[in-house]
Amino acid sequence: MTGRRTGARSRIARIALPATLGLAPRVWHAAAMSIEIPEKLAKDHGGVSADEIGRKWAETMEVCGGLDGDQSVLDIGCGPGRMAISIGERFDWSNRYLGFDVRARDITWATREITGRHPSFGFEHIDVRNPLYNPEGAVDPCEVRFPGEAFDFALATSVFTHMQRDETAHYIRETGRVVSGVFLSSWFLIDDEAEAQIAGGHALFTFAHALDDGTRADRAMAAETVAHPLESAVEMLKAAGFSDIEHIRGRWTRIRTGRHNQDILVARKR
């Protein structure tokens, strides 16, 4: 597997920008994607900015996570395929990719429009209960078994920002079961620096609603925007077999310029 580092780290590495890794991102042009996601499906995935956001994430996966066109990819909470299209276009559709989501309509569209053109990019619907996106789902989120096996790289963007600790821990354990290499995930993470920004009125979110499991919500409905303690997130990743964990701070704290609004954790198997 390419792009993987060796050696465990005794503490979390915190980096402000991926340029510190010594890798140069590719240059993308502003042309529309080759497969356009309908507006009604894209609205929960960046709306009119879905193309730009997807490309930025694909760049992050390469620059921060070492993703290349030879690796197999698992996309947790793939939606209608924004990341699939971005990864496909970045690496000439050479990856083996599997995405899954709780929304059946997203998977139906992605299978028809993306898999129909690029058979190595597949999608599966999992009927997992989610108060925002699939409230009538038959499967408890703490009991779901991820599809597929033996992936090199996994991503979960804007997934744990809508989940509490037990659900998140189960998803991470499942990721550890099927992934042998890198896991790149996005979060809202609370540590001393983030707490100071919130207390000073500088952060974009206050996460004022403390929940029983140690997570915090920005609104009364917990699933809308959830923050996890950084220490808790790292513990969950380590318990699932990941190490060499890097924290890339998100712009939501307004501490420094980040790549994305959300925090990123890049975790690697030894």
Q: Is residue 199 part of a domain?
A: yes
How many domains does the chain fold into?
A: 1
Tell me the CATH number at 197.
3.40.50.150
pLDDT in tens, 152-162: 999 999 999 99
What tokens appear for 61 in the block? Answer: 């996966």
From 60, 56, 54, 57, select the one nearest 3 (Cα to Cα).
60
pLDDT in tens, 244-265: 999 999 999 998 767 899 999 9
Domain coverage including residue 88: 51-99+141-268
Amino acid identity, position 51: D
Coil, strand, or helix at residue 266?
Answer: strand
Q: In this model, does residue 106 exceed pLDDT 70? A: yes
Q: Is residue 119 part of a domain?
A: no
Q: Is residue 30 part of a domain?
A: no
Query: 60 to each of 44, 124, 193, 207, how far by Cα in Å?
Result: 20, 24, 23, 26
pLDDT in tens, 181-190: 999 999 999 9
Q: Is residue 46 part of a domain?
A: no
pLDDT recorded at residue 154: 98
Mean pLDDT, all residues of the chain: 87
From 228, 238, 264, 69, select the one nearest 155 (Cα to Cα).
264
Q: Is residue 233 part of a domain?
A: yes
Average pLDDT over residues 90-119: 97
Residue corresponding to tokens 């499906």: 41
